[in-house]
Structure formats: structure tokens, C-alpha cells
Amino acid sequence: MQGDDSILDTSAKEPHPYILGRGFTPDTIREFEMAYAPSGEFAGRIVLPIRNEEGVLVGISGRLATDDPQEIAAKGKYRNLADFSSGAVLFNLHRAKTFVEAYGVMVLVEGQLDAAKAHQNGLWNVCATMGTAILPEQIDLVVKYTSRVYLAYDVDENGAGQKGTWRIYERLKPYCDVRIMELPMGRDVEKLTAEELWHIYENTISPLEFRLKYGRWLSQ
């Protein structure tokens, strides 16, 4: 699959109402190559290419074009096809790396749509770990471009997002100066307005502040 963009050719090129309804502009949809797959392996899903730091296609992520819980339970929210044999990937790094080096900081988020929406809102130094864990190869990519990281992961009522944030912080702290972007409870980066996102970006908190506030979950 690596480098073979032909797998994207079966996807519809017009913006799908589902992704437009999530607040993505046609320009962002084109830039991030989001497309609806009407048939094939990713039928009924919004297809999102995953590219390595050089921009080479190494994976495909397909998100169901619905929020219906029954359909999600039956089919799974995501379907992924990936070839990371050459090392792990930080989603959007091929776009973000120039800005990471210019600004001196990389923002890490959980999902591909989080990264795309942050980019749309003018925060161009954002990459996604594609989950609430960070792999050693991803850490290598982080430290290749910066020694300062902001973590922007979910804050959940059950503490799952806080635990994920803390795990990633502990993995990165030997190598980077880490700050935390404290998101509103129950809202991820994709659901923030540009004003909200930039306010949080400009008012990060320290890991100590984060632990003092959410420690009851981190110790479980």
C-alpha cells in the first residue's frame, strides 16, 4: 500500500453532508483528502488518508458517516488499513513540521479529525497520535522536531481522558518540556471554536496543576 494513492480513487470527491455537518469547510475537506466511500472495503465511511512525515501514504482510516449508536455498535466506528512497517506515524506531521519548528512547540491531540479541525482553526503545529497512547517511534518523531509539547486530550467524567493524558506525559517528560491544554469537560478539540481553542492554547497548565485537579482519577 505504501505510496499507492490509487486506493483513494473509489471515494466520492464531493464533500459529504456528514463531514460538512461536523463543521469542516470544503477547503479543509480537500486539503485533508476526506472523501465518502459509497462502496468497497470502506463503504459508508468517511475515508481519511494517513501519511508519514514525508507525505507518503501509509494508511487509510474510515469513520462511519453516522453517529447512530446502533450502527456504530454493529459496524465499528472506525476501520483502519495501515502499513507502518517503516515506523510509526504522527498524523499531519508532514503539514505541521514546518510550523512546529518555527513555533518551537508541537500540539498533540488524539484523533485525525481533531488535528484537521485545529488546522482549520489556524493552529498549524498540531499532530495526532491516533489514540490515547504514544509509541516509542512516535516519541522519536516528536523529539526530532521539538523539545516542547502541549497535550490536548479529552477530559472525561469517568477520567479516561485524564489517564490517557497522564500516560503520554509520563512517556514524554524525559525528553520534552510538557504543558497541558485543559479542554472543557466532555469536549474534544474538534468541537471547540477557534476562539476557545486559541484561548486554551495560550493558557496551558503545568502537569502539577493537572495532577492536583485530576489526581483522583490518575491514581486509580
- List the chain pLDDT tens, one digit each, 220 residues: 554 555 565 555 678 999 999 999 999 999 999 999 988 889 999 999 999 999 999 999 999 999 999 999 999 988 888 766 555 899 999 999 999 999 999 999 999 999 999 999 999 999 999 988 999 999 999 999 999 999 999 988 887 888 899 999 999 999 999 999 999 998 999 999 999 999 999 999 999 999 999 888 787 6
pTM > 0.95: no
| Per-residue model confidence (pLDDT) at position 178 | 98
Q: Outline where the chain has alpha helix (H).
A: 17-21, 26-31, 69-75, 93-103, 112-120, 136-145, 160-172, 194-201, 207-218
| Per-residue model confidence (pLDDT) at position 77 | 86
Is the CB of residue 178 less than 8 Å from the CB of residue 149? yes
Domains of the chain in start order, with CATH, are 5-82 (3.90.980.10), 93-218 (3.40.1360.10)
